[in-house]
Amino acid sequence: MEEILNIKNLSVNIHAPGGTVHAVRDVSFELYPGEVLAIVGESGCGKSMLCKAIMKLLPKSAKVEGGQIFANGVDITHYSQKDMEKLRGKLFSYVFQDPMTALNPTIPIGKQIGEAVLVHEPKLPKAQVYERVIELMELVGIQRPRERYHLYPYNFSGGMRQRSVMAIALASNPRILLADEPTTALDVTIQAQILDLLKKIQVQLGTATILVSHDLGVVASAADRVAIMYAGKIVEIGTAEEVYYDPRHPYTWGLMQSLPALNKGNAELKTIPGMPPTLVEPPVGDAFACRNQYALEIDYHQQPPMFRISDTHYAATWLLDPRAPKITPPIGGKRNA
């Protein structure tokens, strides 16, 4: 299948007063139509910066330093903000983490959704815009949309606001949806509803989705493919089954082991020692080496390349090099509920 989004060797730097932060380092991946790709990582691993870079929503201090972004086969790396305005909403849309602040508090919800409809169809008559807004509100599961059209964001609960944000994102039938921690700010029960909605939309409209999350549980419920990010790099990428049942990178092992759900019966949770490195001066070799009990000497000298495990499964660890000693993964395999 032809990929809809292709990221090649993308690097993003943030110029902060304390030094230059290498937030995204040499990231490549593809996104195919109709699939859900999840990007998993801890805070500060650059997953949010990566998404913002794709849509060119980076703050002024952050710059794309290298690499290319192909959307629909077109190189948009050097597009200006004006050019991007034509793509945003139409080709790709963004759903933000915090629905409480993402909506303008002084404009009624319906009008804010209508604005998104009008961006790409400025000549649409008022009545049709209204009908389209109602349709969108129904699509994202806002009941009694005609009554709620004129309400302000403060009348809405967190879950309702996130639904409204999704209606805005879907206004112009985008082909790609970037959902940046869409459920993190919500309660568990609401989170489940929003995840259901994401899946429903994805099936109904066939929108390709990039789902950013720190929660392996959330990702498990929605993702077709999973990419694990650490210290600005993708360290492992594969289908959900491959990553969950046959993880190859020690960081993935560590993440899974520290989950209480997979630790039933253990006296203690397994933890990853230490902390993620600051990305002002990333370490010379593998950034994860100093927290990795399986680290090899070479990890401290040279960054590992992406090793191929299958056509869809890749991981960046020297353990996959033929010269490396064989290690049995401490976790993996199918489980019974």
Partner 1 sequence: MPETLLDVEHLSHVFRLSKHAHIRAVDDVSFQLHRGEILGLVGESGSGKSTVARCLMNIYQPTAGVIRYQGVNILDRREFARNRKMLETRRQIIFQDSASSLNQRMKVADIIAEPMHIHHIKPPRGSLREEAAYQLKYVGMDASYLDQYPSELSGGQRQRVAIARALSMEPELLVADEPIASLDVSIQAQIVNLFKHCNQEHGFSILFIAHDLAMVEFLCHRVGVMYRGRMVELAPTAELFGDPRHAYTKALLSAIPYPDPVIQKNRPRVDFEELEFDREGAFTEVTPGHFVLQEDRR
Partner 2 sequence: MGLTDQELFTPVGIRQIPEKPAGKQRWHHGFPWISAALMTIIVACCMGAELLMTKDPTFMDLQNCSVAPNAEFLFGTDTLGRDIFSGIWYGGRISITIGVLATVISTMIAVVYGAVSGVGPVWLDTLMMRFTEIFLSVPSLLIVLFLQAIWGEANMLSLSVAIGVTGWAGIAKVIRTEVRQIRSSEYVLASRCMGGRFFHVLRKHLAPNFLASIMFMVIMNVRTAISAESTLSFMGMGLPLEIVSWGSMLSLAEKALLTQSWWIILIPGGFLVTLLMCITNMGNYLRKAANRKESNL
Partner 3 sequence: MMKQNLLLYWGKKALVFLVSVMVLSVAVFYISRLAPGDPLMSYYGERTEKMSVEEKEAAREKLGLNDPIHVQYVRWLQNALKGDFGISYKYKQDVTEVIGSRIGNTLILGGIGFVLTFLGALGLGILCAWHEDKWPDQLLCKGGTLLSCIPEFWLSLVMILVFSVTLQWLPSSGAYDVGHKHDILNRAEHLILPLTVVVLEHLWYYAYMIRNKLLEETRADYVLLGKAKGLSKKKILLGHCLRNSLPSYISLMAISVPHVLGGTYIVEKVFSYPGIGTLSFESAQYHDYNLLMVLCMLTGIVVILGNLIGGIINERIDPRIKAAEVTETSEVTWD
Binding residues (CB under 8 A) for partner 2: these are 17-19, 57, 59-61, 273-274, 278, 280-281, 283, 289-298, 300-302, 318, 321, 323-325
1: DSSP letter: -
Tell me which of 80, 143, 189, 204 binds partner 1, using CB under 8 A.
189
- Look at residue 323 and give the partner it binds from partner 1, partner 2, partner 3, none, a contact being a CB closer than 5 to 8 Å depending on partner kind: partner 2
Helices 158-170 and 126-139 cross at an angle (nearest 10°) of 130
**What span, in angstroms and rounded, lies between the C-alpha atoms of 321 and 248?**
12
Rounded (5°) CA angle 200-129-133: 30
Q: Which is nearer to partner 3, 88 or 163 (CB)?
A: 88
HEC profile for 75-143?
A: ECCCCCHHHHHHHECCCEEEECCCHHHHCCCCCCHHHHHHHHHHHHCCCCCHHHHHHHHHHHHHHCCCC
Residue 268 binding partner 1, by CB under 8 A: yes
Q: Which is nearer to partner 2, 61 or 173 (CB)?
A: 61
Q: Which is nearer to partner 2, 182 or 250 (CB)?
A: 250
Tell me which of 59, 105, 260, 325 binds partner 1, using CB under 8 A.
260
Smallest distance from partner 2 to CB 288, Å: 10
Residue 300 binding partner 3, by CB under 8 A: no
**What span, in angstroms and rounded, lies between the C-alpha atoms of 58 and 165?**
19
- Look at residue 116 and give the partner it binds from partner 1, partner 3, partner 2, none, a contact being a CB closer than 5 to 8 Å depending on partner kind: partner 3
Cβ neighbours of 85 (radius 10 Å)? 14
**Token output for 68:** 């290319």
Contact 315, 233 (CB under 8 A): no
Binding mask 94-113 for partner 3 (x = CB under 8 A): x-x-x--xxxxxxx------
Cβ neighbours of 59 (radius 10 Å)? 9
Residue 184 binding partner 1, by CB under 8 A: no
| # chain residues binding partner 1, by CB under 8 A | 42
**Token output for 46:** 């650059």
Cβ neighbours of 142 (radius 10 Å)? 22
Contact 44, 276 (CB under 8 A): yes
Residues 59-88 contacting partner 3, CB under 8 A: 81-82, 85-88
Closest of 234, 227, 303 to residue 27, by C-alpha = 234
Q: Which is nearer to partner 2, 31 or 296 (CB)?
A: 296
Residue 223 binding partner 1, by CB under 8 A: yes
Q: Which is nearer to partner 2, 66 or 283 (CB)?
A: 283
- Look at residue 295 and give the partner it binds from partner 3, partner 2, partner 1, none, a contact being a CB closer than 5 to 8 Å depending on partner kind: partner 2
Q: Which is nearer to partner 1, 30 or 42 (CB)?
A: 42
Q: Give the strand pairing for 19-31 and 5-16.
A: antiparallel
Q: What residues have CB less than 8 Å from 276, skipping those under 6 apart?
A: 42, 44, 45, 230, 231, 287
Q: Which is nearer to partner 2, 29 or 318 (CB)?
A: 318
Q: Which is nearer to partner 1, 195 or 319 (CB)?
A: 195
Smallest distance from partner 1 to CB 290, Å: 14
Residues making contact with partner 1 (CB under 8 A)? 42-43, 187-192, 195-196, 214-221, 223, 240-241, 244, 254-256, 258-264, 267-272, 275, 334-335, 337
Residues making contact with partner 3 (CB under 8 A)? 55, 57, 81-82, 85-90, 93-94, 96, 98, 101-107, 115-116, 119-120, 152, 154-155, 165, 168-169, 171-172
